[in-house]
Structure 1
Amino acid sequence: MTATPTAPRARPEPPAPGAPAGIFRGLRPLITRIHFYAGLVVGPFLLVAAITGLLYTLTPQIERWAHADALYAPVSGPELPVGEQVAAAVATQPGLPVTEVRPSPEPGVTTRVSFDADLAPSYDRTVFVDPYTAEVRATLDTYSEWLPVRAVIDNLHRSLLLGPPGQVYSELAASWLAVLTVSGLLVQLTRRVRARRERLLPRTGGSARSRIRSWHGAVGVWASVGFLFLAATGLTWSQFAGSNVSSLRTALDWTTPSVSGTPLAGSAGAPVTGDAVGADTERVLDAARADGLTGPVEVLPGDPGEAWSVIGTVRSWPTGMDSVAVDPATGTIVDRLAFDDWPVAAKLARWGVDAHMGLLFGVANQIALAALASALIVLVVWGYRMWWLRRPTLPGGRRYAGPPGSRERPSPASVALLAAVAVGIGLAMPVLGISLVLFLLLDAALAARRGEPAGPDRVDAGGAAAERVDPGTRPPP
């Protein structure tokens, strides 16, 4: 019996050129190439950011080990009044104004007294005092609340120890991490695969390049939410985008609130130096404790004639950052602010920054950040490995035709759309906007040099446009 041949299935009609699907179909090869080029160029910056970020996740343990002499004191009896501890620190730094006091938060931990020693921005001279004997155990130059070892790692991660010029590197890395994540998701989730599970789970068979590509895509999908979170929160510290974020938060009243430091009536004020500092600190701290402020705190002396602030320093979950303003002369509470009363946007910003720093959920937070940093490292390495297996010049003089998507020209509408997005992004994030425009110009120049034909070509099983090359010139798997 002869089988009746089956008629070929009719292909669906393509959408109209102006339809969203048509625009996306025109965008896809361009997005694929941007993902490819950006990975090659920005990869080293991402690798440095990931390695230094991985090192940063270990800083709490490194800091406790490297500065154990400053941080800890043997419990040798009841704690002395905090005023005596502060006075002992002040005696070692005559004439310097006190900027912050952090009383011992738990048994066996020293009290910190910081001074304005006219150091680099955000740096203070901090004296560590034994709370049981008032003995000065160490004097270190600290960066905000971080001790020297964490300060070095923090600045290495943010600016490569180059100051403001080096912050361009971290802004470039954070910006393009978001772009590479979104573009990678679009490429991976629209791939032509035999089974949908291949978009989420790596394959174990096939050529070396196909296996690496599968792992690269699957790991990228699973880590995408974490990468976008790191990019968004990292940009808040950036030089250009960060200032725009701050301006937006101010305009929308999303800034971190604080207790009022308005001048005190009838107070002439005096510099926060000398023997009176210890007594004032003790009076202010006692008033804050009596008002219900518990847990670890920092005492911030105000300007002459202004109230002092006492702020909770618990940045883990649940967050304890209630604060009060106190008249240092009388111990009168002049203002209160509970963390529960912060605007929602300010809380989210606080939690986002603390999670980025590994503070919000303690060790679990550190492990999650370490996993994301490790994932980013292997993704960059896999990306370069895929490029090497598909490199332009191969052994024996054989050549392979162009990057992924190079046989398809984007439609004019898709180019216009992406250019408009680049301009819009450039207004808020100049580093990303300028670099994105450069990538578009580079892509156009390389396309013109290759003399690409107009119109789509065939698409391989991985979703990237395949090059028409002679079978004998294809690279080995």
Structure 2
Amino acid sequence: MLWRVHFLGGLLAAPLVFAMAITGILYAWNPQLEYLLHRKALTAVAEGPDRPLSEQVASARQTRPELRLSSVTPAAPDAPRGEATTAVTLVPVAAGSNRFEKPNGAVTVYVDPASAEVTGSVLEANRPDEWLRNLHSNFRIGKFAEPISELAASWLLVSVLTGLVLWWPRGNRALGRNFRFRIPGRSRWRSLHGLVGVAASAGLVLFIVTGLTWTTYAGSWVDLARGQFDSDSPEVSTVLDRTGGPGSEDSALSGADSTDTAGTPPGIDRVAAAARESELTGIVVLEPPKEPGRAWTAEEDDSSWPVEQSAVAVDGTTGDVVDRVDWEDYPLLAKATSLGIDFHQAELFGLATQLLLTALAVALLVLIVAGYRVWLLRRPSGSLGAPPRVGSLLREAPVSVLLGFALLMVLLPVLAITLLGYLAVERVVRSARRPSTG
């Protein structure tokens, strides 16, 4: 029974997983690809001290005055001179706010911090990060196709788990045989398939699970758990106390970027200084308030280990920090989810994670090729070569296996739908082939 399920997982998921492994390798090396493609825009050439951030932003906004300011990422102070530029992201005026996805028409303009001159711009939709992310998650067909990648990941998890059980030795002598690489014929490919699968299984399970946590259907269980245990990621409060009286007009100006379409948003220099004084380090993203009476936000964009994700809310008029959230304030489940996403995106340990995930993806490609080769060598001519059916599933399968599959089908809805659909089709086909007795 496990052999049949393992075979079905390969039949349904292997072609999709093969494509996702290749796109995953490309996405893992996205930072290097982006630097190669947009090196001119990302490179600063002027010498001397940095110009005021407000001047840099004004220079960027003059290139696209019809757009509104979405965020500013000042050149990192610890970046080598000649590499870091200030990134100014502009979006259509009517665009909504989504911290995980840039709206259509968003563009990032890069500015040399020493000269305040524009070095280039990148349309966010054409950025390697966005392009490869969509290719990996929905094959660039559209969001409606994202369940396809969830289907592949769900069945890949089943294939890895069932493959481990099928490979697992039944004694000490069998353990030695299973770890011995066989040379001739079909045994060579089967041995390669098993050994690579066992060696990569732990990493593959971790990689699959961290990817499933933010899918549409399986990921909904994580969202439910975070809601039930009050484990959502905390956010700084941008509400300002001043709502009237002296200074209220300045406060409104500091909280409404739309009042200053000519260039510089009020208060950005004070906000940047307050972020530095608050010991926010590395790459810091500044976001203007969305409406009057709100504060700016300044947040560390650091996905490497040890994680630094402090954020502060800053009054643009006074430069006062009105709220702060640090990594230590995150609930445990929120931390686990964030770390899992950073790992899956090859960001958590930098180059080490990129190399590890590339090795796992290559192992997956070898697994699929070897698995198909074993199938082609074993498959009878003119037949699918599926493992034979051995009695009733409910009567023959051990209770532990049934409970395990029941749990997986609850946690992975796409898996449940496709497995039940397959069983229904198999039953209909078998009934159609049964000779009539009437």
> Does structure 1 residue 159 correspond to structure 2 residue 153?
no
1:172 match: secondary structure: helix
> Does structure 1 residue 115 correspond to structure 2 residue 97?
no
Cα deviation code 1:89-109 (max 9, x no counterpart)? 122232532111100012331
Cα deviation code 1:113-146 (max 9, x no counterpart)? 1122257962322111111111112222225xxx
Match of 1:10 in 2: none
Within 5 Å, give how 1:64-463 maps onto structure 2: 64-105=35-76, 106=79, 107-108=81-82, 109-117=84-92, 122-123=102-103, 124-142=106-124, 148-190=127-169, 194-199=173-178, 201-205=179-183, 207-266=184-243, 267=248, 269-270=252-253, 271-273=256-258, 274=260, 277-304=264-291, 305-393=293-381, 403-404=386-387, 406=389, 410=393, 412=395, 414=397, 425-442=408-425
Cα deviation code 1:59-107 (max 9, x no counterpart)? 2211110010111111421111111111111222325321111000123
User: How many Å separate the matches in 1 of 2:89 and 2:18?
Assistant: 36
- Extract unaligned runs of 5+ from structure 1: 1-29, 452-477
Cα deviation code 1:186-240 (max 9, x no counterpart)? 11115678431333x24234x4212211211111111111111121111133222
User: How many Å separate the matches in 1 of 2:234 and 2:314?
Assistant: 17
* TM-superposed deviation, 1:254: 2.2
Match of 1:7 in 2: none
Identify which of 12, 37, 40 aligns with 1:41: 12
User: How many Å separate the matches in 1 of 2:394 and 2:85?
Assistant: 65
1:122–1:312 Cα change, 3 Å: same
Worse overlay, 289-298 or 98-107? 289-298
**Larger of the two Rg values belongs to structure:** 1
> Does the aligned pair in 2 maintain the 1:307–1:326 contact within 8 Å?
yes
User: How many Å separate the matches in 2 of 1:278 and 1:72?
Assistant: 25
Cα deviation code 1:263-312 (max 9, x no counterpart)? 44325635314257444111111112122222220001122221111111
> Does the aligned pair in 1 maintain the 2:61–2:263 contact within 8 Å?
no
> Does the aligned pair in 2 maintain the 1:127–1:138 contact within 8 Å?
yes
> Does the aligned pair in 1 maintain the 2:51–2:116 contact within 8 Å?
yes
1:414–1:38 Cα change, 3 Å: same
1:195 match: secondary structure: helix
- Extract unaligned runs of 5+ from structure 2: none
2:232 match: secondary structure: coil
1:255 match: secondary structure: coil
User: How many Å separate the matches in 2 of 1:371 and 1:327?
Assistant: 47
TM-score by length of 2: 0.86
Tell me the C-alpha RMSD between the 2 structures: 2.7
> Does the aligned pair in 1 maintain the 2:57–2:263 contact within 8 Å?
no
> Does the aligned pair in 1 maintain the 2:43–2:85 contact within 8 Å?
yes
Worse overlay, 130-139 or 428-437? 428-437
2:376 aligned partner, one-letter code: W
1:74 match: secondary structure: coil
> Does the aligned pair in 1 maintain the 2:71–2:286 contact within 8 Å?
yes
User: How many Å separate the matches in 2 of 1:380 and 1:192?
Assistant: 27
State the identity as a percent.
37
> Does the aligned pair in 2 maintain the 1:202–1:215 contact within 8 Å?
no
How many residues matched? 412
1:198–1:299 Cα change, 3 Å: farther
> Does the aligned pair in 1 maintain the 2:212–2:218 contact within 8 Å?
yes
